[in-house]
Amino acid sequence: MAADQHRAHVRTTREAQGYVAGDGIQLAFGYWPGRGSPLVALHGLTASYVTFVGIAERLAGRRALFALDLRGRGRSDKPPSPYGMTQHASDVAAAMRSMDLGASIIIGHSMGGFVATALAEQAPELVAGLVLLDGGYAPIITVSGSQPSLDAALTLRISQLRQTYPSREAYRQFWRAQPHFPPEAWGSWIEAFLDYEIDGEPPVLRPRASEEGVRADVMEGLDRERIVARCRKLRVPVLMLRASAGFVPGSPPLFSDAMVEEMRACIPQMEEHLIPDSTH
Amino acid sequence: MILGDRGSTLVANLIDDFAARCLPAREAHPA
């Protein structure tokens, strides 16, 4: 079948979910309507497209938003391999071409920022600008011992992927008991994200993300030289929005002032803002 | 990112402004 026959133009006036062809696999996506060609959003290490629900609702129709579940996450296919930023970028490029999207604004949160810079390197014709949300630059993921709080957060997240939960409510309560979600931030957006994140039937529900895929991506996240090299090659406008705190309120930001300056040396055109009262 | 209501609004506004500067003039009709 000709490639054009697979094309499904993203032109709908209502919120939608569906599947789109990635690089040999199926990727789940969410779509929020708005004016113009959609912004393309890529989530972090163990997350899903629903991580963007709050931003999508606050765009309030001004911009359409097309957010993917990366391979191994959410409702997307979970092959045993390959993973890594180059592979994710190939998936995103395939999905964008399937949707007949041209040069777009690519939004990447955390690891999604690495994927975004890999996409800019691999398929520059698909990238009009990058929005990096607390991500996209090393050493966001570091070797053990260099950033204890980050290591602890990753360890918790990966070990949590093996756990089962008797109900969605139990899963919500697990996270509500963690310091990551302060009571004042808890609301329907976080509940929607958590409800989407687990799969199965009571009393055995488990997180959807593939531990193998997450581990493979963490290992590539350690490749600082490659990440920095991708940043140095960026020739498109870049907007960096960094959280004022790390994984929990009151902790130091993952992107310190010094790291932002280091990043700016690689990406001189970068515009940067600190988002108050936010965490990674 | 855990942004809350105000943070999500701020981020959405910054992204909208950035997109307006990076993308050609948007279509005059809803997509």
Three-state secondary structure of A162-229: CCCECCHHHHHHHHHCCCCCCHHHCCHHHHHHHHHHEEEECCEEEECCCHHHHHHHHHHHCCHHHHHH
Domain membership flag for residue A98:
yes
**Does the residue A73 lie in any domain?**
yes
- pLDDT at A5 (0 to 100): 41
Flag whether A33 is in a domain. Answer: yes
Chain B CB within 8 Å of residue A233 CB: no
- Which letter, b or e, does each residue of A136-155 get, where b requires 16 or more Cβ atoms within 10 Å of its Cβ? bbbbbbbeeeebeebeebbe
Its pTM stands at 0.91
Q: Is residue A198 part of a domain?
A: no
pLDDT tens for each residue of A216-270: 998 877 688 899 999 999 999 999 999 999 988 999 999 999 999 999 999 999 9
Binned at pLDDT 50, 70 and 90, residue A181 comes out as confident
Residues of chain B positioned with their CB less than 8 A from the CB of A182: 2
Q: Nearest by CB to A278, which of B2, B23, B30?
A: B2
- Give the residue from B13, B21, B22 with the most A CB atoms within 10 Å of its CB, the best one to mutate: B22
Q: Is A179 contained in some domain?
A: no
- The CATH number that applies at residue A128 is 3.40.50.1820
| Better-predicted residue by pLDDT, A118 or A179 | A118
Contacts of A181 in chain B (CB under 8 A): 2
Rounded CA-CA distance A256/A273 in Å is 12
In a domain, A173, yes or no: no
A 11-70: CB under 8 A from B: 11-13, 33-39, 54-55, 57-64
CB A91 within 8 A of CB A27: yes
Which pLDDT band, with edges at 50, 70 and 90, does A146 fall under? very low
* Residue pair A86/A118 in contact by the 8 Å Cβ criterion: yes
For chain B, the straight-line distance linking the first and the last C-alpha, in angstroms and rounded, comes to 27
Q: Would residue A219 count as lying in a domain?
A: yes
Residue A176 resides in a domain: no
Number of domains in chain A: 1
For the packed helices A224-233 and A111-122, what is the interaxial angle rounded to 10 degrees? 50
> In chain B, which residues have their Cβ closer than 8 Å to the Cβ of A12?
31
- Full domain range(s) for residue A227: 3-140+211-275
The answer to whether residue A222 neighbours chain B at the CB level (below 8 Å) is: no
